[in-house]
Amino acid sequence: MILRPATAQDFPFIRALVQRPDMQTMVTDEGDAELARYLAEPSSRVLIWGDTTPRGFAIFCDLDDRSGTVLLLRLALVSPGKGEGAPFLRALVSHAFEDLQANRVWLDTSASNLRAQRAYERVGFILEGRLRQHEFLPTTATRDDTLLYGLMRDEWAASLG
């Protein structure tokens, strides 16, 4: 599978994916205008993962951070739980460290998203913090903690052997 830059023609794929009922509690639907801003912004990248058929997407932000810290703001797969999470995350992490020259990649997830937590940890992300009751989940009318994960360039390089 490859990562390629997204175009406006990918917006229907991205929007359909994040609007699925199983994704609505985990991924924000930001609309075409916000996706277009990410495409136009030099400090952001919107990527599509897949060969001939898109299998996932991701948005990186803060590419202009002087410390080399890059935010993996959003990511989603067409078929979560089917074994594609680790390859997708490895491709994203490799892209961040090799192509974007990041020193550190960070992301967050809901404490209730156990599948994401396992996937992040399998790829080498370290739980760095917890923001207690930070998120309001409108679909369940509950509050949830936000977990912060990070991965440093040297940790990633050491994992490659």
- Render each residue's pLDDT in the chain as its tens digit; 161 residues: 799 999 999 999 999 888 877 666 666 668 889 999 999 999 999 999 998 899 999 999 999 999 999 999 999 998 887 888 889 999 999 999 999 999 999 999 999 889 899 999 999 999 999 999 998 877 778 899 999 999 999 999 998 87
3-state secondary structure of 77: strand
pLDDT for 137 equals: 74
Contact between 92 and 111 (Cβ < 8 Å): no
116, 48, 53: which is closest to 86 by C-alpha? 116
Residue 117 half-sphere exposure toward CB, CA atoms < 13 A: 14
pLDDT for 123 equals: 94
3-state secondary structure of 118: helix
pTM for the full predicted model: 0.91
pLDDT for 140 equals: 77
Using the 8-state DSSP alphabet, how is residue 111 labeled? T
